[in-house]
């Protein structure tokens, strides 16, 4: 036994001396030597457990760093889900995100040493909607938008030296930045859909323009999509992908990732199931959201009811809850200290037979609890439609939710959102939808089909992994 141990010890020292001399002679093979050293573990060498695990992991040959570029609002939420899935499943050196609009607060929820938020980040006066208003554009301009955009552009241009791969989420700006980087990239085009011009009256000048092109995507965007460095294109619906395929552009559709962020069921609905239920979606852009709240509460004042009405009011993370409360008081609502519905509400307010349930960051849990939505917003409206909740909109002064935006959204969702011109029309439609279930199902049928079911994010990440990162 002692002789056998002695021989093993000699063999061990011999291998160690060979590795040391070989390492001096050929330092460029350092990683391969570490592999040899770790394979000597049975001979008594200590090994790095993380290295052993990564060697046994078929996805551990991570030579890429990943940058996600997104341009705010719903695109940030989609980018967040993509990042979370990459961090869980696929080994990458580092993942960075650059939000081009706002400060990217939504990404602060990610706690990982392999993740960071980069770029020059700033909340813009227009909330990122400078393209919808001349006033908003000049306010953003004076706030330094162009300078910050140029600085971000220079950061992205330097990524090709470090073997980065890029995922762009949004429309032209992130797509252009990804292309200009000289890196290989994938594009998730979420805001544009050919349903917006191919369905409905089709008499607007923009409709004729899109019909002439055969796509809502513009020629300069299509030019970038044809780049050899664009390894995968993912669209928000099948029609848009098919129209690009007709132009010899390989675009794919896996479903709409927006449906991955909302709960399809909530057992706590039993606490309010006996009541008629409305969800107010006032938007995340302030002070516009406050104006939307006043519009909806004013309309509901004249709603004819035969029983109590539950009004769900989920608020965004950046909402000033004290200001919201003051608007409720101004509209005749009083805080109820002894009434609870136990669905996660922050507080309960009452005006006659109407109860407002206030909740911060509760949209994902409350979206499926309503029968009807009153909604002046973008992404959140599409999400409740996908859950089977028909919506009514009453556009205000903007800049986020304008009359033209509302009409485009209605066409996108196949009429699942009814755009109202006045208070009377809103009340008539609301009373019909609250009291007639078959009308609700009829209105939302096409919209549910267009939004698709949950699960798209996983398919998108798997496809990007195979097309861009391998």
pLDDT, tens digit (0-9, with 9 covering 90-100), for 247-285? 999 999 999 888 888 877 788 888 898 999 999 999 877
State both tokens at 468: 């861009």
298 upstream amide cis, omega within 30 of 0:
no
Query: Using 50, 70 and 90 to split pLDDT, how confident is the model at 125?
Result: low
Amino acid 39: pLDDT:
29
Query: Using 50, 70 and 90 to split pLDDT, how confident is the model at 393?
Result: very high
Number of H helices, E strands in the chain: 19, 15
CA distance 281 to 296: 10
Q: Which residues of 284-319 are buried (b: 16+ CB within 10 A; e: fewer)?
A: bbbebbbbbbebbbebbeebeeeeebbbbbbbbeeb
Say whether domain 267-451 belongs to CATH 3.30.365.10. no
Class of domain 65-255+455-468: alpha beta
* Topology match between the domains 65-255+455-468 and 267-451: yes
CA distance 97 to 26: 37
Q: Looking at the predicted structure, is the pLDDT value of residue 198 above 70?
A: yes
Domain locations in the chain?
2-45, 65-255+455-468, 267-451
Amino acid 166: pLDDT:
96
Q: Looking at the predicted structure, is the pLDDT value of residue 143 above 70?
A: no
pLDDT in tens, 326-347: 999 999 999 998 888 999 899 9
Q: Any idea how long the chain is?
A: 470
CA distance 403 to 190: 21
């Amino acid at each position: 036994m002692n002789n056998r141990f002695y021989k093993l010890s000699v063999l061990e020292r011999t291998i160690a001396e060979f590795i040391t001399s070989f390492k001096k002679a050929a330092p460029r093979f350092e990683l391969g030597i570490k592999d040899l050293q770790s394979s000597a573990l049975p001979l008594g060498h200590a090994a790095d457990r993380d290295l052993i695990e990564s060697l046994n992991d078929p996805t551990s040959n991570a030579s890429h760093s990943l940058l996600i570029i997104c341009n705010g609002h719903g695109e940030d939420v989609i980018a967040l889900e993509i990042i979370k899935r990459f961090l869980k499943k696929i080994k990458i050196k580092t993942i960075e995100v650059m939000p081009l609009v706002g400060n990217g607060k939504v990404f602060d929820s990610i706690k990982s040493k392999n993740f960071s938020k980069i770029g020059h980040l700033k909340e813009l006066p227009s909330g990122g909607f400078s393209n919808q208003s001349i006033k908003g554009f000049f306010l953003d301009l004076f706030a330094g938008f162009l300078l910050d955009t140029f600085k971000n552009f220079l950061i992205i241009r330097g990524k090709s030296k470090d073997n980065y791969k890029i995922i762009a989420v949004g429309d032209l700006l992130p797509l252009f930045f990804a292309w200009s980087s000289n890196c290989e990239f994938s594009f998730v085009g979420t805001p544009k859909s050919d349903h917006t011009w191919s369905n409905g009256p089709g008499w607007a000048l923009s409709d004729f323009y899109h019909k002439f092109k055969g796509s809502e995507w513009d020629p300069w965007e299509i030019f970038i999509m044809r780049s050899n460095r664009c390894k995968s294109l993912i669209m928000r619906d099948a029609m848009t992908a098919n129209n690009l395929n007709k132009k010899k552009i390989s675009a794919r559709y896996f479903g709409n990732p927006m449906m991955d962020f909302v709960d399809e069921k909530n057992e706590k609905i039993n606490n309010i199931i006996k009541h008629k239920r409305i969800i107010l979606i006032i938007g995340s852009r302030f002070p516009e959201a406050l104006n939307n709240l006043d519009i909806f509460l004013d309309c509901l004042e004249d709603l004819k009811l035969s029983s109590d009405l539950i009004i769900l009011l989920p608020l965004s993370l950046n909402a000033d809850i004290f200001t919201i409360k003051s608007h409720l008081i101004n509209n005749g609502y009083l805080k109820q200290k002894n009434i609870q519905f136990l669905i996660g509400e922050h507080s309960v307010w009452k005006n006659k037979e109407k109860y407002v349930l206030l909740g911060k960051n509760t949209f994902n849990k409350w979206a499926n609890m309503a029968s009807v939505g009153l909604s002046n917003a973008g992404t959140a409206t599409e999400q409740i439609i996908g859950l089977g909740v028909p919506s009514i909109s009453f556009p205000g002064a903007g800049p986020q939710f304008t009359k033209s935006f509302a009409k485009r959204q209605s066409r996108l969702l196949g009429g699942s959102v009814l755009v109202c011109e006045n208070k009377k029309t809103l009340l008539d439609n609301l009373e019909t939808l609250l009291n007639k279930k078959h009308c609700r199902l009829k209105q939302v049928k096409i919209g549910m089909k267009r939004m698709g079911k949950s699960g798209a994010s996983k398919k998108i990440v798997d496809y990007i992994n195979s097309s861009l990162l391998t």
